C-alpha cells in the first residue's frame, strides 16, 4: 500500500512531463507550419487584411484601423523625364526598410492628376501593406488626350520603377484604373517592361476601344442599357475626335457619337480610314490581348458608369496566355466604397469583403 502511495507522485510527474513534451512538440509543429505557410499564405494574408482595413474600415467602422497598426508611409514628389516626357511623380514608401516590392499606378483620366483624393489614399494603402508605390502624372491622362505614344510612356514608367535599387530583386507589378488600365494593358501586350511584369491589376477599364466608344455614344453595352457618367460622356467624344488624322475620320467619329444604335456606332468606327483605324486599334487592349503574358486580376463594379462591366466580360471571354481573374463586387463603385453598401446589411458587407479578401490574397501571393 505504501509503495502504491509513493508511486502516485511519480506517475503524476511522468504525466506532467508527457503533457509538457506534447506541448513542446505542438509548439514546434506550429512554428514549422507557420514557416511553411508564411510566404504562400500568412504573409500575403496579413497584407490583404491591411489593404482592406485601410480601404474599408473608415467607411464601414468610422476609423482607419490599418493606420493604427502600421507606421505612416513616407511620401515624396519628384520631377522625372519618362519616355521623353517630363512629368510629376508621387512616391509612397513603407515606413520601414529600404527595399520593397514595387507597384506602378496608372491613374484614370482625372483632370486633377496626382491630387485625386482616392488615388492618393490608395497609394498610402499600398505603402502601408509594404509596397513602394510610383504614381506618374501622365500628361495625356490628366488632359484627357488619346495619345498613340501613351503605351510606350507607360511602359517606360514601369521600366523606371524596376530599375530602382529599392525594388531590386523584388516582385513588381502595375495597377491601372479606368482609361489608364486600358493603356497599361496595351503597353503590356506591346512592350517588354510591362510585358514582363509579375502581375497586372485593373479597376474598371475598357477592353475594346470600339465597343467602349459605342457604349458611351448609345448608352448601351449592346444587349443592355448602360448610363455613362457625365465625365465620360463629356470627355471621350472630343478626345476620340481630336485623335483622328483627318477631317473625314473626325466626321465619322461625330456620327458614331450621334448614332441611333450600338451597331450603327460600331459601323461608323469600322468605316474609318486605315490611319484612323490604326489610332483606335493602337489604343485598344483587344488588339494585343493574345500577347499579354502577365497574370491579369480585374475588378469591375457592375454599376460602373465610366466603363461598362461588359468590357470586363469581353476580356474574360477572349483568349490570352496566362491567367485572367475577374471579380465583380458590389461594395466598390469605380474607385470608392459604394454609398449604399452599409444599407444592405452586415451579411452583405461580410460576404463582399470575403470575396475581395480572397481575390486580394491571390494577387498578393504574386505581388510579394
Domain range annotation of the chain: 65-208+284-367, 210-280
Choose among 113, 106, 104: nearest CA to 163. 104
Determine whether 3 is exposed, middle or buried from the number of CB atoms within 10 Å of its CB (0-12, 13-18, 19+): exposed
CATH superfamily label, 65-208+284-367: Alpha/Beta hydrolase fold, catalytic domain (3.40.50.1820)
Q: What is the pLDDT along the chain (368 residues), one digit of tens a residue?
A: 444 455 556 555 555 555 554 444 343 333 233 333 334 445 565 666 665 665 555 655 666 666 666 788 999 999 999 999 999 999 999 998 999 999 999 999 999 999 999 899 889 989 988 899 999 999 999 999 999 999 999 999 999 999 999 999 999 999 999 999 999 999 999 999 999 999 999 999 999 999 999 999 999 988 899 999 999 999 999 999 999 999 999 999 999 999 999 999 999 999 999 999 999 999 999 999 999 999 999 999 898 999 999 999 999 999 899 899 999 986 655 444 455 555 555 655 566 666 666 777 787 788 87
Amino acid at each position: 500500500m505504501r509503495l502504491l502511495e509513493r508511486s502516485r507522485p511519480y506517475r503524476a510527474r511522468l504525466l506532467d512531463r508527457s503533457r509538457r513534451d506534447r506541448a513542446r512538440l505542438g509548439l514546434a509543429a506550429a512554428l514549422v507550419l507557420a514557416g511553411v505557410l508564411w510566404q504562400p499564405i500568412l504573409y500575403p494574408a496579413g497584407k490583404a487584411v491591411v489593404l482592406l482595413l485601410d480601404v474599408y474600415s473608415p467607411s464601414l467602422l468610422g476609423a482607419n484601423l490599418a493606420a493604427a497598426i502600421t507606421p505612416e508611409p513616407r511620401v515624396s514628389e519628384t520631377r522625372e523625364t519618362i519616355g521623353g516626357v517630363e512629368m510629376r511623380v508621387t512616391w509612397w514608401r513603407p515606413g520601414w526598410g529600404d527595399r520593397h516590392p514595387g507597384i506602378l499606378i496608372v491613374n484614370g483620366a482625372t483632370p486633377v492628376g496626382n491630387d485625386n483624393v482616392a488615388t492618393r489614399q490608395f497609394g498610402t494603402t499600398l505603402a502601408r501593406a509594404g509596397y513602394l508605390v510610383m504614381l506618374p502624372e501622365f500628361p495625356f491622362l490628366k488632359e484627357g488626350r488619346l495619345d498613340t505614344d501613351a503605351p510606350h510612356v507607360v511602359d517606360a514608367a514601369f521600366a523606371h520603377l524596376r530599375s530602382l535599387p529599392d525594388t531590386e530583386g523584388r516582385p513588381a507589378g502595375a495597377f491601372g484604373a479606368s482609361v489608364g488600365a486600358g493603356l497599361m494593358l496595351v503597353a503590356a501586350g506591346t512592350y517588354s517592361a510591362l510585358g514582363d511584369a509579375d502581375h497586372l491589376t485593373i479597376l474598371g477599364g475598357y477592353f475594346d476601344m470600339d465597343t467602349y466608344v459605342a457604349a458611351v455614344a448609345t448608352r448601351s453595352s449592346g444587349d443592355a442599357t448602360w448610363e455613362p457618367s457625365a465625365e465620360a460622356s463629356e470627355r471621350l467624344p472630343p478626345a476620340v475626335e481630336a485623335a483622328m488624322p483627318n477631317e473625314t475620320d473626325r466626321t465619322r467619329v461625330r456620327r458614331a457619337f450621334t448614332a441611333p444604335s450600338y451597331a450603327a456606332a460600331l459601323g461608323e468606327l469600322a468605316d474609318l480610314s486605315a490611319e484612323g483605324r490604326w489610332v483606335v486599334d493602337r489604343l485598344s487592349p483587344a488588339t494585343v490581348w493574345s500577347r499579354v503574358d502577365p497574370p491579369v486580376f480585374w475588378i469591375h463594379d457592375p454599376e460602373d458608369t465610366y466603363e461598362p462591366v461588359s468590357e470586363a466580360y469581353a476580356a474574360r471571354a477572349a483568349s490570352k496566355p496566362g491567367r485572367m481573374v475577374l471579380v465583380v463586387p458590389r461594395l466598390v463603385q469605380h474607385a470608392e466604397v459604394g454609398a449604399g453598401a452599409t444599407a444592405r446589411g452586415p451579411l452583405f458587407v461580410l460576404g463582399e469583403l470575403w470575396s475581395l479578401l480572397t481575390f486580394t490574397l491571390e494577387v498578393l501571393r504574386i505581388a510579394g
